Chains A and B, each alone.
Chain A
Amino acid sequence: MWSFILKRLAQGVITVWFIATATFFAMHNVPGDPLLNDRAMTAAIRANVEAKYGLDKPLGEQYVIYLGNLVRGDFGISFTQENREVNDIIREHFPVSATLGVLAVLFAAAGGVLWGALTALYRNRLPDYVIMFFVILGISVPSFVIAAVSQLALVGVNAALGVTLLPVAGWGTLWHMLLPALVLGMGTMAYLTRLMRSSMLEVISADYVRTAKAKGLPAARIFTKHQLRNAILPVITVLGPSIAAITTGGFVVELVFAIPGLGRYFVQAVQQLDYTVIMGTTVFYGAFLVFMVIVVDVLYGFIDPRVRMQ
């Protein structure tokens, strides 16, 4: 087990290095210049600034310096927000995005497993049709539409009740988080429901479920011990990429609900060619996702003994 985890971590480090390298060279090949903004800049000032950020050195040397800083965990200083360290930006805003993301993943996973199992048990009957209708809706409608519509609906409900059932936007308490997390997790929940449904249908007709019935076990025990645990395996496999989709997809939802997350810095930085912030957030997100995938793999090992042994 430990050698498995260590191996996956080593692979993860290589993946992050690859992400960092690819981002570095891609970014430096984008037309444009981070120092070209509306402020007056003489050649002398420009040279000074370039020297400050190390932009006057050859690209190869910049890359080596950059990797050295990265290893020490130093992402540098923002180009556009002067004297603000990228580390500070991440430290300040990532927890918000992460909280939202984790909550959304929880919603998606719990909902997906529950609805998926229900549709399989009620296959081709009314609950199946109703749930699958919403699943198709959830997969087809993009999150910014759901975000806006749900916000509008919430405004209506709050107005009708005369009390604030849930805050419509902003950040701070758990009540602020519920709606955005639900909206953020909706697409993934729909996707996981479909996956869980097909996986559950497969398990329902599996030989070992027939064995369990032949043993005379009560239906509830067959469901929890023999069906659910086996049906959930494919769902856990895609949970890693799902976490990726949710955390990176959070930007739009953060914008609609006015949540001070990291996503907005990420997009701003790309627009302004803020090299250090782009590099910092990309590498950080990359590392975070790689880590989450490893966590999921380890989790998978706990549920499926066959993976644990390899």
Chain B
Amino acid sequence: MSEQKDLLVVEDLNVEFDTYGGVVQAVRGVDFRVAAGETLAIVGESGCGKSVTVQSIMGLIPMPPGRITRGSARLRGHEILGQSRIDGREIRGAQIGMIFQDPMTSLNPTMTIGDQIAEPLQVHRGLSRADAAREAIRLLEVTRIPEAAKRAKQYPFEFSGGMLQRAMIAMAIACKPEILIADEPTTALDVTIQAQILDLLQELQAETGMAIVLITHDLGVVARMADSVAVMYAGKVVERGSVDDIFYRSAHPYTLGLRAAMPSNDPALKQSLQPIEGSPPDLFAPPPGCGYAPRCPHAMVVCESQPAETPLAGTGARDHAAHCWLHHDESPMKPAGLFFRESDASRNEKFEGGSAVEEGRNESRR
């Protein structure tokens, strides 16, 4: 993919935190790209570094104790790490908007919703107080909040969780950013509200053409929203590709493990939850090789000592890549070609999650 088309390119991002227990290497060489107008989902379990990655890009990591030790993040070719503005324009709030996991605590309790939405408009676009207030009401209408004019004068504690997340979205898109980063935007909301918020994000994307970077640990949300996916584990991107690549041609054992661990609502499938045994590695002293090796059913000797340096292509499909030795030419699995292909799922019981994923996908599309 050319740099021209890529709106945001993140390369080799490394982030550390000083703690009393030592240095935590939270993000260890993350790469991903976001094309204009697309939705990239970053998935992974708690503590894998998803949030730290995007917060580093936004400059929201408190430093100290945080530290970006290496890497770059370029928006339209301009480096943004450590920068607050490019092209004379503020990045945060104007070119990249962001919403957070818990809308209940993410809004200032002593300021009206309208004032909070109007703030970036006043600061970045130089609107007068009255104009900004009018625009805030319009934005509340855009995010489908009924009685917007009345609601704008209310405080966060008078809103429900779903309404607050709508208000957060209104605030984040106020200055028409090219990218909206949504850090687990539906995790704190109940299921019906989740669906509404996701629908709203998709509608807004269709209207404005903004790209969305969606952080989540919910594969259902990924299936519903994403164009492309980056799977993170222990501070690294272990696999990336289109949403179809990730779900139907998974190339990394961790992605397969995640798929298998997805709950299914099909009563015919007499399958209980399939957890991934073990726990993620200690990021105070990350393993030299693949972080997933101790939990991986296919781990080889090389996996524990050396990281798979180059992303080894899974399918040969454009941009689909996995950091896994199993795809190496000398790997014993290699003769079978892409053995994680759905048709090969019978090779291993663990891979039967595939059909469940498809179900879930249809479910959420309905």
Q: Determine if B32 is an interface residue (Cβ-Cβ < 8 Å).
A: no
The answer to whether B106 and A215 touch across the interface, beta carbons within 8 angstroms, is no
A216's contact among B90, B105, B106, B155, by CB below 8 Å, is which? Answer: B90
Q: A215-B93, A216-B94, A216-B124 in contact; A303/B106 too (CB < 8 A)?
A: no
Q: Assess whether A225 is in contact with B111, with CB atoms less than 8 Å apart.
A: yes
Is A213 on the interface with B (CB-CB < 8 A)?
A: yes
Residues of B within 8 Å of A217, CB to CB, are 93, 119-120, 123
Say yes or no: B92 contacts A210, CB within 8 Å: no
Does A212 lie at the interface of the complex (its beta carbon under 8 Å from any beta carbon of B)?
yes
Name the interface residues of A201-241: CB closer than 8 Å to any CB of B. 205-208, 210-218, 221, 225-226, 229-230, 233
Tell whether, in the assembled complex, residue B106 and residue A208 are in contact, meaning their CB atoms are under 8 Å apart.
Answer: yes
Is A214 within 8 A of B92, CB to CB? Answer: yes
Consensus secondary structure, chain A interface: helix
Q: How far is the CB of A128 from chain B (nearest CB, A)?
A: 15
Given A216-B93, A216-B94, A304-B110, A211 contacting B123 (CB threshold 8 A): no
- Quick one: given A207-B100, A305-B155, are A215 and B111 in contact (CB under 8 Å)? no
Q: Once the chains bind, are B58 and A214 in contact (CB under 8 Å)? A: yes
Smallest CB gap from B91: residue in A: A216
A306 CB-CB contact with B under 8 Å: yes
Residues of B within 8 A of A206 (CB): 105
Max chain B C-beta neighbours (<10 A), residue from A205, A211, A215, A229: A215
Instruction: Report yes or no: A216 in contact with B109, Cβ–Cβ below 8 A.
Output: no
**Complex alpha-carbon distance, A217 and B155, angstroms:** 20
B141: A residues at CB distance < 8 A: none
Q: Which of B105, B108, B109, B157 has the most CB of A within 10 A?
A: B108
Instruction: Say whether B110 contacts A211, CB under 8 Å.
Output: no
Bound complex: CA of A208 vs CA of B103, how far in Å?
9
CA distance A213 to B120 in the complex (A): 10
Select from chain B the residue with minimum beta-carbon distance to A304. B110
**Most B-side CB within 10 Å, residue of A211, A214, A306, A309:** A214
Q: Mark A294-305, 1 if CB is under 8 A from B, else 0.
A: 000000000111
Q: Is the CB of B155 within 8 A of A306?
A: yes
Name A226's closest neighbour in chain B (CB-CB): B108
CB distance from B51 to the nearest CB of A (A): 11
B71-107 residues at the A interface, CB under 8 angstroms: 84, 90-94, 97-98, 100, 102, 105-107
The reply to whether A214 and B60 contact each other, CB–CB distance below 8 Å, is yes
- In the bound assembly, the distance between CA atoms of A218 and B123 in angstroms comes to 8
B311 CB to closest chain A CB (Å) equals 30
The answer for the CA separation of A162 and B337 in the assembled complex, in Å, is 97
Decide if B94 touches A210 in the complex (CB within 8 Å): no
Greatest chain B CB density within 10 A among A206, A211, A225 is at A211
| Residue from the list A210, A214, A304, A309 in contact with B93, Cβ < 8 A | A214
Q: How large is the interface on A (under 10, 10 to 19, 20 to 34, 35 or more residues)?
A: 20 to 34
CB of B251 within 8 A of chain A? Answer: no
The smallest C-beta distance from B323 to any residue of chain A, in angstroms, reads 30
What number of residue pairs across chains A and B have CB atoms under 8 A from each other? 79
Which of B59, B60, B110, B123 is A230 in contact with, Cβ under 8 Å? B110
Q: What residues on B are CB-neighbors of A233 within 8 Å?
A: 110
Whole-angstrom distance between the Cβ of B209 and the nearest chain A Cβ: 21
Complex CA–CA separation, A133 to B120 (angstroms): 40
A305 touches B98 (CB 8 A): no
A230–B108 contact, CB under 8 A?
yes
Interface residues of A in 281-310 (CB under 8 A from B): 303-306, 309
Asked if A208 and B123 make an inter-chain contact with CB atoms under 8 angstroms apart, the answer reads no
Contacts of A214 in B (CB 8 A): 58, 60, 92-93, 97-98, 100, 172
B290 → chain A, closest Cβ, in Å? Answer: 33
Instruction: Choose one: B106, B124, B157; the contact of A305 (CB below 8 Å).
Output: B157
Q: Which residue of A lies closest to B93 (CB)?
A: A216
Q: What are the residues of chain A within 8 A of B108 when measuring CB–CB?
A: 208, 211-212, 225-226, 230
A212, A216, A226, A229: the one contacting B84 at CB < 8 Å is A216
B157, A306: Cβ atoms under 8 Å?
yes
Are B93 and A207 in contact, CB atoms less than 8 angstroms apart? Answer: no
Contact assessment for A229 and B110 in the assembled complex, using a CB-CB cutoff below 8 Å:
yes
Across the interface, name the chain A residue whose C-beta is closest to B95.
A216
Is B30 close to A, CB under 8 A?
no
| Contact A211:B120 (CB < 8 A) given known A306-B155, A306-B157 | no
Inter-chain CA distance A213–B58, complex, in Å, is 9
Q: Which residues on the A side are within 8 Å of B110 (C-beta)?
A: 229-230, 233, 303-305
Report the separation of the CA atoms of residues A304 and B105 in the bound assembly, to the nearest whole angstrom: 15
> Hey, what's the 0/1 contact readout for A126-166 against B, CB within 8 Å counting as 1?
00000000000000000000000000000000000000000
Q: From known contacts A214-B98, A303-B110, A305-B155, infer whether A221 and B105 are also in contact, taking CB-CB under 8 Å.
A: no
Known contacts A207-B100, A305-B155; decide if A215 and B92 are in contact (CB<8 Å).
yes
Question: Contact at B123–A216, with CB atoms within 8 Å?
Answer: yes
Closest residue on chain B to residue A206 by CB atoms: B105
Q: With A and B bound together, what is the CA distance between A306 and B107 in angstroms?
A: 14
CB-nearest residue of chain B to A205 = B62
Report whether B107 and A211 are in contact in the complex, using a CB–CB cutoff of 8 Å.
yes
- The CA-CA distance from A221 to B172 in the complex, in Å, is 18
Give the CA-CA distance A234 to B93 in the complex, in Å: 30
Residues A265-291 near B (CB distance < 8 A):
none
**Complex CA distance for A108 and B119, rounded to whole angstroms:** 32
A269 vs B84: C-alpha distance when bound (angstroms): 67
A-B contact pairs, 18 of them (CB 8 A): A207-B100, A207-B106, A208-B106, A208-B108, A208-B109, A211-B171, A212-B108, A212-B119, A213-B58, A216-B91, A217-B123, A221-B119, A221-B123, A225-B111, A225-B119, A305-B157, A306-B155, A306-B157
B-to-A contact residues, CB < 8 Å: 58-60, 62, 84, 90-94, 97-98, 100, 102, 105-111, 119-120, 123-124, 155, 157-158, 168, 171-172
Q: Please list the 8 inter-chain residue pairs (A to B) with the smallest Cβ-Cβ separation, ordered nearest first.
A: A216-B93, A216-B92, A215-B93, A207-B105, A216-B90, A214-B98, A305-B155, A208-B108
Q: Other than the known A211-B106, A214-B97, A305-B157, what 7 A-B pairs have Cβ atoms closer than 8 Å?
A: A208-B108, A211-B108, A213-B59, A213-B92, A214-B92, A215-B123, A225-B111
